[in-house]
Chains A and B, each alone.
Chain A
């Protein structure tokens, strides 16, 4: 059971480039989320989804887009990369319900130069 898989693990982008961070889960979880982690800031929510076809914004959505065409996949798109988007990105999934834990991927370390 793979759990939550993120690709790539590392990425360097130039300012203005676009790219997609991939996230896939094989646990049939309804909820999926994207977080970014910066030193001293903890995990901040970018976007989330409660099911296929449904997405919503989190705390720091600017500069990012998401879509949820299937239950398994939840890609995060950077439209025009900026140095402020240098961060570690984590995708998480959870089973629908009141008291369920989140399972995290291993993260994507993104550097924008």
Chain B
């Protein structure tokens, strides 16, 4: 089955720096990936997604990179702001029916002014 892991439990950056959060997955057949942001006391919120036929997708200040060869994806946040402080999860469909998602354990991003 799928497993999702993250390389670092906590990432501390200075305001204005670029942040990179990493995620590894085990199932080479996985073809859809999502990044979520969870602020303290709130539910996870969708940030950006990417399909396996792409290796890069950009949003507003965020970029997701997908490397299918090594089964790795990353979330890059440009010009990190204090409001970006949160826990970030990668997720992918859990079963062949795509009816549920499996989540990584999360990386806490701490942004200091």
User: A102 within 8 Å of B by Cβ?
Assistant: yes
User: B105 within 8 Å of A by Cβ?
Assistant: yes
Residues in B whose Cβ lies below 8 Å from that of A106: 42-43
In angstroms, Cα B38 to Cα A105, docked, is 12
**Size bin of chain A's contact surface:** 20 to 34
Q: How many A-B residue pairs have CB under 8 A?
A: 59
- Pick from B46, B100, B104: contact of A103, CB under 8 Å: B46
**Contact flag A33-B100 (CB < 8 Å), given A43-B44, A43-B89:** yes
In angstroms, Cα B4 to Cα A43, docked, is 11
Residues in A whose Cβ lies below 8 Å from that of B94: 45
- Pick from A41, A48, A105: contact of B43, CB under 8 Å: A105
User: B25 within 8 Å of A by Cβ?
Assistant: no
Residues in A whose Cβ lies below 8 Å from that of B31: 98
Asked whether B99 lies within 8 Å of A104 as measured between CB atoms, the reply is no
User: A31 within 8 Å of B by Cβ?
Assistant: yes
User: A70 within 8 Å of B by Cβ?
Assistant: no
In angstroms, Cα B93 to Cα A104, docked, is 16
User: B101 within 8 Å of A by Cβ?
Assistant: yes
* A interface SS class: strand
Q: List 10 A-B contacts (CB under 8 A).
A: A4-B43, A33-B101, A42-B103, A42-B106, A43-B44, A43-B89, A94-B101, A99-B32, A100-B98, A107-B41
In angstroms, Cα B94 to Cα A33, docked, is 12
Asked whether A107 lies within 8 Å of B97 as measured between CB atoms, the reply is no
**Contact flag A101-B100 (CB < 8 Å), given A40-B105, A43-B44, A45-B94:** no
Asked whether B49 lies within 8 Å of A99 as measured between CB atoms, the reply is yes
